[in-house]
Structure 1
Amino acid sequence: MRLRTSRLAVRSQSRLSDRTSRRLTRTYQLYSRTSGKHVQVLANKRVNANGDDGAVHAKLEVETDSFGSRVRIRGVKTGYYICMNKRGKLIGKRKGRGKDCIFTEIVLENNYTALQNAKYEGWYMAFTRKGRPRKASKTKQHQREAHFMKRLPRGHLLTERRPFDVLPLAVPVHPFSKRTKHSHQQRSGGR
Structure 2
Amino acid sequence: MPFFPSRFICVCLHFLVLYFQLQESQQRLADFRLYIENHTRHPEDLSRKQIRIYQLYSRTTGRHVQVLGKKVNANGEDGGQYAVLVVETETFGSHVRIKGMETDHYICMNRNGKIIGKRNGRSQECVFVEEFLENNYTALLSVKYKGWYLGFNRKGRPKKGSRTAQTQQEAHFMKRPPGGTAELPEDFRFTPVTKRTRRAQRLKASSGTH
TM-score (norm 2): 0.64
Q: Which amino acid aligns with 1:121?
A: K
Higher normalized helix content (fraction of residues): 2
Q: 1:155 Cα shift?
A: 5.2
CA distance in 2, matches of 1:105, 1:95: 21
- Equivalent residue number for residue 102 of structure 1: 127
Q: Which residue of 2 aligns with 1:22?
A: 48
Distance in 2 separating the partners of 1:52 and 1:144: 19
Alignment partner, residue 166 of structure 2: 141
Distance 2:173 2:41 in 1: 26
Alignment CA distance shift 1:130-1:85 (3 Å):
same
| Distance (Å, rounded) in 2 between the aligned partners of 1:17 and 1:109 | 30
- Gapped regions of structure 1 (runs ≥ 5): 158-191
Counterpart amino acid of 2:80? A
* Stretches of structure 2 lacking an aligned partner (at least 5 in a row): 1-24, 183-210
**Contact residue 61 and residue 74 of structure 1 kept, 8 A:** yes
Q: Which residue, out of 3, 20, 34, partners 2:60?
A: 34
Residue of structure 1 in register with 2:106 after alignment: 81
Structure 1 residue 121 corresponds to structure 2 residue 111: no
Secondary structure at 2:62's aligned position in 1?
coil
The answer to whether the 8 A contact 2:78-2:180 is kept is no
Give me the whole-angstrom Cα distance separating, in 1, the residues matched to 2:124 and 2:91: 17
Alpha carbons of 1:109 and 1:18: their partners in 2 closer, same or farther (altered >3 Å)? farther
Contact in 1 for aligned 2:140/2:150 (Cα 8 Å) = yes
Q: Distance in 2 between matches of 1:103 and 1:131?
A: 20
Q: 1:37-186 residue pairs with structure 2 within 5 A?
A: 37-43=63-69, 45-154=70-179
Structure 1 residues 123, 155: closer, same or farther in 2, change over 3 A? closer
1:20-72 C-alpha deviation (Å, 9 max, x unpaired): 882011110000000100000103x1000000000000000000112211000
Q: Distance in 2 between matches of 1:55 and 1:68?
A: 30
Q: Is the 8 A contact 2:94 2:129 kept in 1?
A: yes
**Larger Rg, first or second structure (1 or 2):** 2
Distance verdict in 2 for CA 1:156–1:36, change over 3 Å: closer
Q: CA deviation at 1:99?
A: 0.3
Give per-residue Cα distances to partners, 1:61-92, cap 9 Å, x unaligned.
00011221100000000000000011100000
State the SS of the aligned residue for 1:97.
coil
Structure 1 length-normalised TM? 0.71
